[in-house]
Structure 1
Amino acid sequence: MRIFMLSNPNAVHTQRWVKALAERGVVVMLYSFRPYKDNGYYQDMNNVQIKSFAKQRELKGIRNFFPIKLLTYYRTLLKDIKASIQSFQPDIVHAHYLSDNGLFGALSGFHPLIVSAWGTDVYDYPKWSGSRARVIRYVLRKADCILSTSHVMAKEVFKYTDKEWLFVTPFGVDMSLFKPLPVVKQKNHVVFGIVKTLSHGYGIDTLIDAFALLRARRPELSISLRIVGEGKEREQLERQAADLGLSKEISFMGRIANDKLPEVINQFDIFVALSRIESFGVAVVEAMATGCPVIVSDAPGFTEIVEHGQSGLIVKCDDPQQASEAMENLVDHEELRLSLAKNGRERVRALYDWGKNVEEMISVYKLMSTNKNV
């Protein structure tokens, strides 16, 4: 099978999909309209070709005026995409992220066309303006099949289409990589942790406030908070920690490569994710796979992953007090931590095992390539 994939080659989810498909004998041409800096990730992969349309935009004064971009830069880009598809002769074109790659896929005129919604492309982009909402409706109308990473995001997609061909294909976890590891931990010390982009939507500020409340309420506890990730709010969050007098207890670890995360997460005793919005929550699934008990907000993507009291604890969004009480509960009750950890890993094995997710994706490919109605 041959798949022409429109996606960002630098995105970790793209890398994981391409690698998994190639290992199963699927031939992939990965096309990017962004300049691609080759870091060697795809270098030794069989069945994979990379093509980047690296021409830079020169319309600096009107770069956000959609019709102008469409008639100039995008016209040249679309011509190159069509030529690349014709040369590659794929069975399917698969575009990841609706508002850019999805649009190029729709305009290419190729069928079967599969489009994947990732999150902000359906939660945020169509709400910015009526014209952008029309773009999303157009892309979904032209697609033969739609993929969503979660059921809750599928509901959001259905606000813009009534198309029946929609499948949920999660960004699952490689359980051979994300698993419990033998680590040496400091005795009688509890480490809270989070792996997330440092931006407002992911509630890192709420987590810091919750940690501060717990520290103030239980000063005798030996606790710390490790924040893994980068983002535009890092300086602001570091100031918040300093203003609360917690610079020693809260450490900012920066971005860590995905294959190094299992070792880092295994150092955590409790994983806390308090996002304000979440379409799925891969990091939470990764934490559950390592056997780390989780506390999450009631953002819709999390409530699909976590069963409250069974595979984790769920607290109200933007409620540092309730979050701090849940954190305290797990500090005080080791048996509950162990139970949540065990049940969480079992839930990931049942629903979010990466190998199963990839096979489900390939099944969709086979279905669409043989569907006579497309």
Structure 2
Amino acid sequence: MRIVHVSDCYLPRTGGIESQVSDLAAHQVAAGHEVHVLTATLGAAGERGGVVDVVDGVHVHRLGARMPFALPVTPSGPRLLRAAFREVKPDAVHVHAGVLSPFAYDGARIAMALNLPVAITWHCMLDGVVGSLRAAVRLAGWDHAAAALSAVSSAAAGRVREVFEVPVSIVPNGMDLRLWTPAGADVRSGPVHLVSTMRLAPRKRAVPLVELVGAAAARLPVGSLRMTLIGSGPEQHRVEAQVRRSGLDGVVTLAGRLTRDEIRTAYADADVFLAPAELEAFGIAALEARASGLAVVARRGTGIEEFVEDGVDGLLAVDDDDMTEAVMRLVQDDGLLASIRSHNRSVRPAFDWDVVLAAAESEYSRATGLIR
């Protein structure tokens, strides 16, 4: 099968969509497909305007332009997208969308106009924009679009369904579970070690995370817990200031950005993963931690509920105060923490790449069946 992925953002940019689209494309190549990626993101050396890189067997079409702040947008996008579709002649077009994805939406519109099979996957939560998007969809005539719609989790799919009022499937994020399988016996001692991995940006809520950890530490005996926060981003200085303001210099370690290998090493020494984001469409970092055997504490109503059952894989909280209580509960109840960690070390989550590849191919078949 000749598959074309369309995504505003792609490597060398780093982030959830970028890593998932590149990993999916690489696994599809390994499965014997011809795979192309059309993106508005420039190459590492500034490749743009239609230059094609071949990386791990994936043909990456750099259709972007030099823009302020390296924004992945391009005035020539529609023309270049149309030309690429006509040249590649794909059997399926897989569009990867966020709340603001002008390049991806152009790709979907043009592919449908060319009568190509189109599958669109949302990698975001549409909370707060459902009404405006529903109006825009109807104005553009997309409420009758011949495309197979999906999202990365049930929570995200529910919002897409509200916008389009049509069936919405699940194409989850994937990972190589073997890389995250814990090795050796589960031996822990000392303070409960909390860990969180995120981009230090407002949407991920790193500052509230430090606040709630500080609230838990203040109500527990000294030395009961410690925390490692992995990641970097625009909120770095605010996070550092909150650590100082909360008197957590000896409790919270800011590890900065780490490689996957370094993160796996950090998880081997940790007990609990904290995911404070309210608009988490899937939560790949939480899934990696869950696969590593850590108990996960996360917000209810997010995509993390796809693989975390309350009281089994971790604890789910309705707000920050509830998350503070969950942290305290795991610190104080050795039996509960041991039970969750034992379960997570022995029961594998069902999100390996074979599951994702099958879900994607099912969407391509569904998209083909919608062609008029």
- TM more than 0.5: yes
Residues matched between the structures, number: 351
Q: What percent identity do the matched residue pairs reach?
A: 21
Question: Does the 8 Å CA contact 1:116/1:146 hold for their aligned counterparts?
Answer: yes
| TM-superposed deviation, 1:160 | 1.6
**Who is 2:164 aligned against?**
161
Kindly provide the amino acid, as one letter, of the partner of residue 121 in structure 2.
S
SS of 2:238 mapped into structure 1:
helix
SS of 1:341 mapped into structure 2:
helix
Unaligned stretches of 5+ in structure 1? 64-68
Q: How does 1:262-341 map to 2 (within 5 A)?
A: 262-319=264-321, 322-341=322-341
Q: How does 1:37-116 map to 2 (within 5 A)?
A: 37=44, 45-46=56-57, 48-57=58-67, 74=75, 76-97=76-97, 99-100=101-102, 101-108=104-111, 109-110=113-114, 111-116=116-121
- Asked if residue 241 in structure 1 is aligned to residue 246 in structure 2, the reply is no
**Who is 2:353 aligned against?**
354
- Asked if residue 118 in structure 1 is aligned to residue 118 in structure 2, the reply is no
SS of 2:35 mapped into structure 1:
strand
In the aligned structure 2, how far is the partner of 1:149 from the partner of 1:362? 15
| TM-superposed deviation, 1:136 | 9.6
- Asked if residue 190 in structure 1 is aligned to residue 195 in structure 2, the reply is no
359 and 236 in structure 1: CA distance in 2 versus 1, 3 angstrom threshold: same
266-275 or 99-108: bigger deviation: 99-108
- Asked if residue 22 in structure 1 is aligned to residue 29 in structure 2, the reply is yes
| TM-superposed deviation, 1:137 | 6.4
List per-residue Cα deviations over 1:6-46 (Å, max 9, x = no partner): 1222211111111111111111111112222269xx85523
| TM-superposed deviation, 1:77 | 1.9
In the aligned structure 2, how far is the partner of 1:104 from the partner of 1:307? 37
In the aligned structure 2, how far is the partner of 1:136 from the partner of 1:117? 20
List per-residue Cα deviations over 1:79-127 (Å, max 9, x = no partner): 111111111111011111153203322134232111111105x335666
SS of 1:197 mapped into structure 2:
coil
177 and 36 in structure 1: CA distance in 2 versus 1, 3 angstrom threshold: same
Question: Does the 8 Å CA contact 2:124/2:156 hold for their aligned counterparts?
Answer: yes
In the aligned structure 2, how far is the partner of 1:117 from the partner of 1:154? 8
Question: Does the 8 Å CA contact 1:137/1:160 hold for their aligned counterparts?
Answer: no
In the aligned structure 1, how far is the partner of 2:261 from the partner of 2:61? 25
**Who is 2:363 aligned against?**
364
In the aligned structure 2, how far is the partner of 1:228 from the partner of 1:183? 24
180 and 242 in structure 1: CA distance in 2 versus 1, 3 angstrom threshold: same
In the aligned structure 1, how far is the partner of 2:146 from the partner of 2:272? 41
List per-residue Cα deviations over 1:46-69 (Å, max 9, x = no partner): 3x21110232358xxxx9xxxxx9
* Equivalent position to 2:41, from 34, 37, 40: 34
SS of 1:158 mapped into structure 2:
helix
In the aligned structure 1, how far is the partner of 2:146 from the partner of 2:345? 35
List per-residue Cα deviations over 1:342-371 (Å, max 9, x = no partner): 33456653x3233222222123324434x2
- Asked if residue 148 in structure 1 is aligned to residue 151 in structure 2, the reply is yes
334-343 or 221-230: bigger deviation: 334-343
366 and 107 in structure 1: CA distance in 2 versus 1, 3 angstrom threshold: closer
List per-residue Cα deviations over 1:222-260 (Å, max 9, x = no partner): 421111122221211110110111123211122223454
In the aligned structure 2, how far is the partner of 1:136 from the partner of 1:36? 35
List per-residue Cα deviations over 1:187-232 (Å, max 9, x = no partner): 4132111111222333322321222223222233342111112222
In the aligned structure 2, how far is the partner of 1:106 from the partner of 1:177? 38
Unaligned stretches of 5+ in structure 2? 12-17, 47-52
15 and 112 in structure 1: CA distance in 2 versus 1, 3 angstrom threshold: same
**Segments of 4+ moved more than 6 angstroms:** 183-186
Question: Does the 8 Å CA contact 2:119/2:363 hold for their aligned counterparts?
Answer: no
Question: Does the 8 Å CA contact 1:150/1:279 hold for their aligned counterparts?
Answer: yes
In the aligned structure 2, how far is the partner of 1:265 from the partner of 1:143? 44
Kindly provide the amino acid, as one letter, of the partner of residue 65 in structure 2.
K
Question: Does the 8 Å CA contact 2:6/2:37 hold for their aligned counterparts?
Answer: yes
Please report the TM-score for the alignment, with normalisation by the length of structure 2. 0.84
- Asked if residue 343 in structure 1 is aligned to residue 319 in structure 2, the reply is no
Kindly provide the amino acid, as one letter, of the partner of residue 92 in structure 1.
A
Question: Does the 8 Å CA contact 1:185/1:267 hold for their aligned counterparts?
Answer: no
| TM-superposed deviation, 1:177 | 0.9
124 and 2 in structure 1: CA distance in 2 versus 1, 3 angstrom threshold: farther
In the aligned structure 2, how far is the partner of 1:156 from the partner of 1:141? 17
